[in-house]
Amino acid sequence: MSRLLLACVFALMSVFGIAGVANAQEDANAPVVAAQQTTVNPAPDVNSPQEPSPEVREETKRKLWIGAIALGLFALVYYRNKKRWAKWRKERAAKKG
C-alpha cells in the first residue's frame, strides 16, 4: 500500500513540476535595469556599543527566567509521567503473570 501511495505522490509531483515550468523570453524593446553601485565600508564601526542597554539586559534576564521556569515545569511533568508509566507497566505485568 505504501508503494502505491509513494507512486501517486511521485506522479502528482511530476505533473505539477512539469506544468509549473515557465518560458523565459526576453522582449527586445524592454528596458534593462542596471544595478547601482554601492559603497561598502569593511571597517568595523568605531562607535558601536560595547555593552547592551539596561532595557536589553532586563529583557534578557526576563527571558532567561521564563526559560528556566518552562524547563523546570517540563522536567516535573516528564518525571511524573515517567513514574506513572513505570507504575502502569508494573501493574500490567502483574496482571499478566
Q: What is the pTM of this model?
A: 0.44
| Under 8 Å between Cβ of 45 and 53 | no
Note the pLDDT of residue 39: 75
Convert the pLDDT of each residue in 6-56 to its tens digit: 776 777 777 666 555 555 566 667 766 666 777 776 776 677 667 888 888
SS3 97: coil
| Under 8 Å between Cβ of 52 and 60 | yes
